[in-house]
A and B are shown apart, each in its own frame.
Chain A
Amino acid sequence: MNENIQKKKFLTVFKRPSSTEGVWSWITTVDHKRIGIMYGYAAFFFLLFGGLEALLLRIQLAKPDNDFLSAAEYNAMFTMHGTTMVFLVIMPISAAFFNYLLPLQIGARDVAFPRLNALSYWLWIFGGLFLYSTFIFGSAGAPQGGYLAEEIGWLGNAPNGGWFGYQPNAAFKYSPGTAMDYWALGLQILGISSLVSAFNFITTILNMRAKGMRLMRMPVFTWMTFAVAFLLAFSLPIIAIALFFVTFDRQFGTTFFLTEGGGDPVLWQHLFWLFGHPEVYILILPAFGIVSEILPTFSRKPLFGYAAIVFAGFGIAFIGFGVWAHHMFASAISPVAQAGFGISTMVIAVPTGVKIFNWLGTIWGGKISLKTPMLFALGFIAMFVIGGLSGVTHSVVPADTQQTDTYYIVAHFHYVLFGGAMFGIFAGLYYWFPKVWGKMYNETLGKLHFWLMMIGFNLTFGPMHWLGLKGQIRRTWVYAEETNLGFWNLVVTIGAFVIAISIIIFMINWIYSKRKGPDAPMDPWDARTIEWTIPSPTPVWNFSTPPEIESLDDFWHKKYDEDDEGRAVRKEAADQLLVDLEIDGLNPKEHIELPNPSYFPFILASGLPFLGYAIIYKSLALAGLGLLLLLIGGFGWALEPLEEEEIGESLDE
């Protein structure tokens, strides 16, 4: 390792770890890139689980009155599918992108609070494992006196109250057993993880930018990260309280949401959706950001209306706080509330539309290159618009009363979350693959993935619009023969398997290309933003010399001039610039200090699942263990010094 890179070392009671190889180095890492990679892989793992859950659901629904899954198992599968995809797939993959890219895009060395960043990751993975441990340790009983008093097999011993946990259905009386406690406590841990990330990213974007990186020169992806961080910061506390109330109701005998004690089930809906609606914008804004980077690059044109896209993004985030009760139109809310929220929901279509038109404006007249990232980005626009259109129909209250709880709604949110967020995410995974791994993925396999996924996706979710309007009810494990819905349900199921095949192709591409793909150059896409000015794969120190930014799309302007008609003309010095950047990038001349690794985020995070188990199993011993880990983690963290003490010779490295 270049001798100018020195990890800060100092003597403390607790010596900070120093390994750079092996498992231990991953456990103690505070490097944003490694944290991003860990998020990405773990989230992909959960994608496979969530996808499996979906396939099981679809097999059950492939024909009417099927008995592949029992009702109890079906409930568990759709609950876990939703919870997994939202909290354990899309959010962490977005986190992977934020973590890896944010410092690179603003020209920084790392985030503002590197150890807190590691804490976010460990909290998340422990929370996810805690949630999934329900399959091993959890139990879901049949509701008292319910007709579903059947034997609940292994697959049913999971949270089964829906990802939204409506009360009192998800309360103890109707969801006995421990499974919904795993849900509430697991989500609680996951929430803390994201909340911590949120402060980190807000502070990073504000205070860690490189010289000349004014706010209005930041890439759109960075702006969307900023908006997401605000959404997380202000919505997660609300659900944290709501989940505490649920846990108290289930475990400690309170009745916040139970009418028999004077509680209010609709209050749960308010609190959940006060979080839940901003949550869906949290899920989609990263994809908006990714697509806003990809479209200009593959159209060789600047983003149309940069300022409008930035402000629209914040407009969506802001208005997103004001539409939550549109999830409650069919609950007992007053007509005034219904009218108000219907209007605000319609209003939010406006900034969304602004973005869509800006993206189209970006592509218009551009020199389009249909590489895999671009295919996914274009697919994103098309699919997201379809999802948005069905969304707008929900804002009309009387229409929504018809649509609610049917597959029409399922179609809507899958078009925006899968066709929107996931497509955007795949676009990003292909786009930044060369930067992260230093290899090029296989373009043919990438295109195959795209087309199979497009076909499979539309086969799966397209018919659901019709099925919903025909009356197929969601969250129900069978539908009757007489409904004549069997054929299209079968089509949907086949589509789901096509999606599965396309994901397998993606995995093959990824694994193969990482190992045996051709080496990737520093700037394979002739891109615009500064993460492409450093070598591929990214050196651990990011930038050898801190960049100095002179404009929006600074890198592009260093490579291209504009002629009289506004067309890009490559500068003569551009090729040499790339060569120089790469050489400089690999050989830092100045002394670079990197934040030190630490054990304590891992230790602190490990305490929380034990507290969770302690509450479920009413075990003081486990609670004590959890608290002990929290205290050790906390004290150790506080007491390991940040600043370098002058030691004299640098220790072995």
Chain B
Amino acid sequence: MNDHGYPHEPTGVDTRKLGMWVFLSTEILFFGTLITTYLIFKGRSFDGIRLEEVYDIPFTSVSSFVLLMSSLTMVLAHNAIEKFDQERTNIWLLATALLGAVFLAGQIYEFTEFYHKGFTLTENIYGSTFYVLTGFHGAHVFIGVVLLIILWGVGQRQKGLSLDGGMNLEFIALYWHFVDIVWIVLFTVVYLI
């Protein structure tokens, strides 16, 4: 709606970007609740297998690094679109989606291993909280990968993404980075501490 009588965005922030930041601020509460639950239960004693007995820090470290690098490719994609370099944008977009998919594959592999070793969702409260917490994160990564692919698809159909398009690279990038920073916190809190 580009009515001329209306001041364009009195706050100076693009409307869609603003909407995405508000959404991300609420996601802080969402993941905050999950992490808090995890921390509350972590301190308590219970029977059964613990995460420490089954995890593989080197493997998860590599996974974490992969996700971290996907933030780099995301930011490079953003950079490319700002320069209207459609080819580069596509490359970096797909690279990000690929890295995200690799991360997810790593998670799935990890969880399957854990299950084989007996660390399951219903094993004990620790297992429940672990899987729900990391599971929600994984779901967010999955949605992110889907969004990236849709974005790439829109670019193909419209013969190039524009900065003003409805499917806006900038706000999907924000979502993607957010998913990454949640993992930064999770990796430390769940695996390392």
Contacts and interface: CB of A to CB of B under 8 A. Distances in A.
Contacts of A210: 5-7
B1 interface: yes
Contacts of A195: 26
Contacts of B128: 248, 254-256, 261
Q: Which of A235, A263, A643 counts the most B-chain CB atoms under 10 A from its CB? A: A263
B128 to A, nearest CB: 4
B3 A546 contact: yes
Contacts of B83: none
Interface in A614-653: 635, 638-643
Interface in B135-188: 150, 154, 157, 164-167
Contact of B37 (A245, A261, A592): A245
A211 B7 contact: yes
Interface stretch (A42-50, A108-116, A501-509): A108-116
Q: Which of A207, A236, A593, A639 counts the most B-chain CB atoms under 10 A from its CB? A: A207
B63 interface: no
B26 A237 contact: yes
A252 interface: yes
Interface residues of B, number: 42
A244 interface: yes
B41 A262 contact: yes
B82 interface: no
Interface in A212-262: 233-238, 240-242, 244-245, 248, 252-256, 261-262
Interface string A312-331: 00000000000000000000
A376 B27 CA distance: 39
A639 B151 CA distance: 9
B94 to A, nearest CB: 17
A642 B166 contact: yes
Nearest to B162: A643
A584 to B, nearest CB: 13
Sort chain A's interface into a size bin.
35 or more
A638 B166 contact: yes
B33 A242 contact: yes
B58 interface: no
A209 B10 contact: yes
Interface string A543-559: 00110000000000000
Given A207-B13, A267-B40, A638 B125 contact: no
B53 to A, nearest CB: 17
Nearest to B166: A642
B122 interface: yes
Given A248-B132, A595-B1, A253 B124 contact: no
B84 interface: no
A264 B3 CA distance: 54
Interface stretch (B15-23, B67-75, B99-107): B15-23
A202 B22 CA distance: 8
A253 B30 contact: no
A203 interface: yes
A199 interface: yes
Contacts of B37: 241, 245, 256, 267
Interface in B15-56: 15, 18-19, 22-23, 25-27, 29-30, 33-34, 37, 40-41, 44, 46
Interface string A125-154: 000000000000000000000000000000
A559 B129 CA distance: 62
A639 B157 contact: yes
Interface string A331-358: 0000000000000000000000000000
A207 B37 CA distance: 36
A255 B125 contact: yes
B172 to A, nearest CB: 10
Contacts of B41: 262-264
A170 interface: no
Nearest to A236: B26
A370 interface: no
A592 B3 contact: yes
A545 B15 contact: no
Contacts of A52: none
Contacts of A209: 7, 10
B22 A203 contact: yes
Contacts of B2: 593
B4 to A, nearest CB: 8
A594 B164 CA distance: 18
Nearest to A641: B166
A264 B44 CA distance: 11
A103 B15 CA distance: 15
B23 A261 contact: no
B19 A113 contact: yes
A235 B132 CA distance: 20
A635 B167 CA distance: 11
A271 B33 contact: yes
A241 B34 contact: yes
A206 interface: yes
B3 to A, nearest CB: 6
A639 B165 CA distance: 10
A219 B164 CA distance: 32
A248 B40 CA distance: 18
A547 to B, nearest CB: 8
Contacts of A207: 9-11, 13, 15, 18
B22 A211 contact: no
A206 B26 contact: no
B108 interface: no
A641 B167 CA distance: 9
B121 interface: yes
12 contacts: A112-B19, A200-B19, A203-B18, A244-B132, A254-B128, A256-B129, A262-B44, A263-B41, A546-B3, A593-B1, A635-B150, A638-B154
Interface of B: 1-7, 9-11, 13, 15, 18-19, 22-23, 25-27, 29-30, 33-34, 37, 40-41, 44, 46, 121-122, 124-125, 128-129, 132, 150, 154, 157, 164-167
| Across the A-B interface, the 3 shortest Cβ-Cβ residue pairs | A546-B5, A237-B30, A254-B128
Given A198-B26, A256-B129, 9 more contacts: A109-B3, A199-B19, A200-B19, A208-B15, A241-B33, A245-B132, A252-B121, A253-B122, A642-B166
